[in-house]
Amino acid sequence: MSQKLLLTVAQGQKGDRTPVWLMRQAGRYLKEYRDLREKHTFLETCQTPELAAEVSLQPMRRFDIDGVILFSDIMIPTLGMGVELDFAPGPVLKTPIRSVSDIKNLRVCDPHEKTSFVLKTLQILKSNLPDTKTLIGFCGAPFTTACYLVEGKHSTDFSQVKKMMKDEPVLFHLLLDKLSQTLSLYLKAQVEAGAEVVQIFDTWTEILTPKEYLEFAFPYEKKLIESLRPLAPVILFMKKSGDFLTQAKELDVNVFSVDYSVSLSHAREVLGDNIVLQGNLDPKILQSGTKEEIKRETLKILNSMSGQKHIFNLAHGVLPETPVENVSTLIEVVRNYGK
Ligand code: 1CP
């Protein structure tokens, strides 16, 4: 049996226990992250390979997790497209992308040119990881990345994106297509640099109706997944995925990351036995639950997926207020399950 449990299970093979890693496992809930961020901005941390690698490794030093995810952000590849960007704490663009000329000015770029620091970070990580740990690369899906480009920052109502989908769908497709090309090159370069599994985040499918999902998110997820599948196992995460499961079945993704809109057993029923499911403990339980509650809810998930292809994760990222001891409890329960 391969020593890289997460990679083995992501490839659809059997492992001798359930692998575990957590979305946003690096970040503000860790004191060592907050300490580092007092000296360096978020962007500086992402753009300095030694710092980004250090932050990626911080959770592994505390917890016996099976995967280490590149520390970066979904908006980083847009820097190479010519976007001017800062973080406060979420992404903020100098100028939102809304017109034909804004979109025409975006370059489909070679990831080795403007985002070589990401590839260097992965190389450092690859050479420092124990051979039992799997290195995870990632990007945002075209739709979710486009949401930030069009809104220019975090939005509560996504009014600009909704307006563009309704009034200027051709323009929005032009943007999505350019992002697809860039993100495909970007993820392929991550695999070349050492990423063994890649995750695509399509967080803002949350705002879409099933019809809009079919038109603006699904085709671009599909393109990206197809371009990566020959190279590495692909994990897809979306929010409100329960509404899109029947359609998502046609994506042919290796691993489907289930959010809180749907139970793992329902996802299994719709998606079939071959796909690997990832998830889906509610991050709020991890943040605010007692030790007993965390154990109980974790065991519930493990029992419901027992004997099936499953990677343990949260339903979304670790929340910044999460006590570190709660994460330790979760990881211990998963690692000791069935022993
Ligand atoms: O120190 C800080 O305050 C910066 C906060 C922060 C962090 C820790 C941002 C800004 N990004 C990140 C890291 C990050 N972002 C990772 C690191 C790897 C990990 O440990 O998991 C990943 C995978 C992301 C991906 C990301 N960024 C997503 C998709 C996943 C998700 O959470 O849904 C999204 C939507 C973003 C946008 C973003 N970047 C940062 C923030 C605070 C946000 C969210 C803003 C919003 O709510 O709109």
* Residue 140 CA, closest ligand 1 atom number: 29
CA of 266 relative to ligand 1 center, distance in Å? 28
Dihedral angle of Cα 37, 41, 47, 52, to the nearest 10 degrees: 10
pLDDT tens per residue across span 240-277: 999 999 999 999 999 999 999 999 999 999 999 999 99
| Element containing residue 316 per DSSP (H, E) | none
* Residue 56 CA, closest ligand 1 atom number: 20
Q: Which residues line ligand 1 (CB under 6 A)?
A: 23-28, 37, 42, 69, 71, 73-74, 87, 89-91, 138, 140, 154, 201, 203, 317
Q: Is 337 part of the annotated catalytic residue set?
A: no
47-53 mean pLDDT:
98
Is pLDDT at 1 greater than 70 in this prediction?
A: no
Percentage of residues of the chain with pLDDT beyond 90: 98
Q: Distance between CA 140 and CA 196 in Å, rounded?
A: 17
59-88 mean pLDDT:
97
Average pLDDT, the chain: 97
Residue type at position 236: L
Residue type at position 329: T
Handedness of CA 49, 52, 58, 64 (dihedral sign): negative
CA of 260 relative to ligand 1 center, distance in Å? 18
What pLDDT shows up at residue 271? Answer: 97
Classify each residue of 43-82 as buried b or exposed e, where b means 16 or more C-beta atoms within 10 Å of its C-beta: bebbbbbebbbbbbbbbbeebebbbbbbbbbbbbbbbbbe
What pLDDT shows up at residue 234? Answer: 98
pLDDT-derived band of residue 34, with 50, 70 and 90 as boundaries? very high
151-180 mean pLDDT:
97
Q: What is the pTM of this model?
A: 0.97
What pLDDT shows up at residue 338? Answer: 84
Q: Distance between CA 57 and CA 135 in Å, rounded?
A: 10
pLDDT tens per residue across span 249-258: 999 999 999 9
Decide: helix, strand or coil at residue 252.
Answer: coil
* Residue 317 CA, closest ligand 1 atom number: 32
pLDDT tens per residue across span 102-131: 999 999 989 999 999 999 999 999 999 999
Pocket test for ligand 1, best of 37, 63, 74, 204 (most atoms within 8 A of CB): 74
What pLDDT shows up at residue 208? Answer: 97
Q: Distance between CA 339 and CA 329 in Å, rounded?
A: 16
pLDDT-derived band of residue 339, with 50, 70 and 90 as boundaries? confident
| Element containing residue 47 per DSSP (H, E) | helix 42-47
272-296 mean pLDDT:
98
Percentage of residues of the chain with pLDDT beyond 70: 99
What pLDDT shows up at residue 3? Answer: 85
187-209 mean pLDDT:
98
Find the distance separating the first CA and the last CA of the chain, reported in whole Å. 18
Task: Lowest mean pLDDT of 2-16, 140-154, 272-286, 320-334, name the range.
Answer: 2-16
